[in-house]
Amino acid sequence: MNTYLIQSKVRLIKEAQTDLFELYGIDYTPFARKIYFYFFIHKQKKYVHKRALNFVYANADTYTNEINPSYCNLTKSLVPVNVCKFLETYTGTFLPKLIDNNDKFFVYEYIEGNPIDSVTNDEFFNLKAHHESMELTPFYNSMAYNLIRTTHDIKLVDLKHFENKKDLPFFVYLYNQNNGVNSLYIEKHSALDKVVQHLALDYPMEYTKIITYK
């Protein structure tokens, strides 16, 4: 983890702690191993700090402390993704129940379930319906352990994966090196080569098990 990300993470945790106490009277210190911080979990609620979440999308790869940068001199490839605006207007059932929404936080119901390492035919097409109904999509990355299978349906529990939609067919990719998961679910007759080319930028596609549904 480089110095920029470490310093940014510490700064955002402190800012979120202050906001959490001022808004909810909760004095809480999180423990976060992951490279990015954007939420607290406290008493069955998930407090998503908007500034920290926005940092993941707008600042993490730009190495600037500017709020909502529109251009990156380092990579010259920044495409802003306004995930907070999307979450403020989303009314579907793919995310946990939204309990509160203010200038500082989204507060979601904290849900428990089994992390997904496989997808059935029916689940695949239910997830496709969510993908098609949303302005942004989280499905262009690995969804392993980012989706939770509850007693009623499947929920997305990690908000770091949303992207602007591209000219790609719908797919669900599950990859976790430590647990030997590497499966791609795709609809029969879809443009598999485009999906493989997209995923191969970050994942070992030569070992991927491909499952087609119809």
User: Can you read off the two tokens belonging to residue 180?
Assistant: 């030997």
Indicate the residue among 82, 109, 136 that finishes a domain: 109
State yes or no: pLDDT of 45 exceeds 80: yes
For 32, the domain range is 3-109
Domain count, the chain: 2
* Beta carbons of 171 and 195 less than 8 angstroms apart: yes
How sure is the predictor about 184, in pLDDT bands with cuts at 50, 70 and 90?
very high
Domain boundary among 109, 143, 167: 109
204 and 169 housed in the same domain? yes
Distance of alpha carbon 210 from alpha carbon 201, whole angstroms? 17
Residue 63 and residue 82 in one domain: yes
Tokens of 115: 């992390």
104, 86: one domain: yes
Residue 98 shares a structural domain with residue 134: no
Q: What is the pLDDT of residue 76?
A: 53
- Residues 197-214, mean pLDDT to the nearest whole number: 95
DSSP string of 118-168? Answer: ---HHHHHHHHHHHHH-SEESTTSB-TTTEEE-SS-EEE--TT--EE--S-
- 179 & 87 share domain: no
Q: What is the arithmetic mean of pLDDT over 112-140?
A: 94
In the chain, what percentage of residues exceed pLDDT 90? Answer: 69
**pTM over the 0.75 mark:** yes
Residue 140 has pLDDT above 80, yes or no: yes
Q: Do both 141 and 194 map to the same domain?
A: yes
Same domain, 16 and 105: yes
Does residue 14 sit in the same domain as residue 56? yes
Cα 176 from Cα 120, distance rounded (Å): 18
Domain identity same for 160 and 88: no
pLDDT for the residue 97: 95
Q: Both 85 and 136 in a single domain? A: no
- Determine contact, residues 48/159, Cβ cutoff 8 Å: yes
Within this chain, do residues 102 and 145 fall inside the same structural domain, yes or no?
Answer: no
Could you identify the residue written with the tokens 């000219």? 167
Q: Are residues 149 and 78 in the same domain?
A: no
Q: How many angstroms separate the CA atoms of 111 and 102, rounded?
A: 21
Average pLDDT of 8-12? 88
- Which of 109, 133, 166 is the endpoint of a domain? 109
